[in-house]
Each structure stands twice: as structure tokens, then as C-alpha cells.
Amino acid sequence: MAMVKKMAFIVHEVINSDLSPAITKEAMLLSQQLLHQYPKFTASGFYTLDYENLYQKALTIVTFILMILQFVSDSERKHY
């Protein structure tokens, strides 16, 4: 979300600068798209990829690894 705000600020700097009319027109179109369509990243449309989702996935992976390590250590103790 912070990147979108930063991008909007940069686009408006381009619009306010003295560049060619074609660049200003494209910057205006991009500004309108940013205003009406909030960009979001998805995994093939199934769920959005954001920090909270990535955090939950990382916690799931760490939990799984800890469970596997416990099984491995239990099986090594039984052999001795």
C-alpha cells in the first residue's frame, strides 16, 4: 500500500513537470488507473498475496518443520 502511495506521488510529479504532452497524457491515464483500480497481487486469483498472508504461510512451514524434527528425534532415541 505504501508503494502505491509513493507511485502516485511520483506520477503527479511527472504530470506537474515540463515534459512532452505525450508523457503527461500517459501519466494522467496512469493516475486515473491508480485512483480507480487498487493494484493487488494474487495467486491465480485464489487468494491475495500480502504480508499477513505470507506471514501465515511462514508460520505454517515452521510448524511443519518442528513437527518433522520431533518425529525424527523420537525415532533416533528408540534405536538406542
35-64 pLDDT per residue, tens: 777 667 788 888 887 888 889 999 999 999
Q: Which residue has the cell 508523457?
A: 23
Q: Are residues 34 and 46 in the same domain?
A: no
**pLDDT higher than 70, residue 68:** yes
Domain extent, residue 46, equals 42-80
Residue 79 has pLDDT above 70, yes or no: no
Residues 58 and 74 in one domain: yes
Grid cell 502505491 in the structure block, residue: 4
53 and 74 within one domain: yes
- pLDDT at residue 29 tops 70: yes
What's residue 2's pLDDT? Answer: 66
Average pLDDT, the chain: 81
Kindly provide the b/e burial profile for residues 3-42, where b requires at least 16 CB atoms within 10 angstroms of the residue's own CB: eeeeeeeebeeebeeeeeeeeeeebeebbeebeeeeeeee
d(CA 15, CA 21): 9
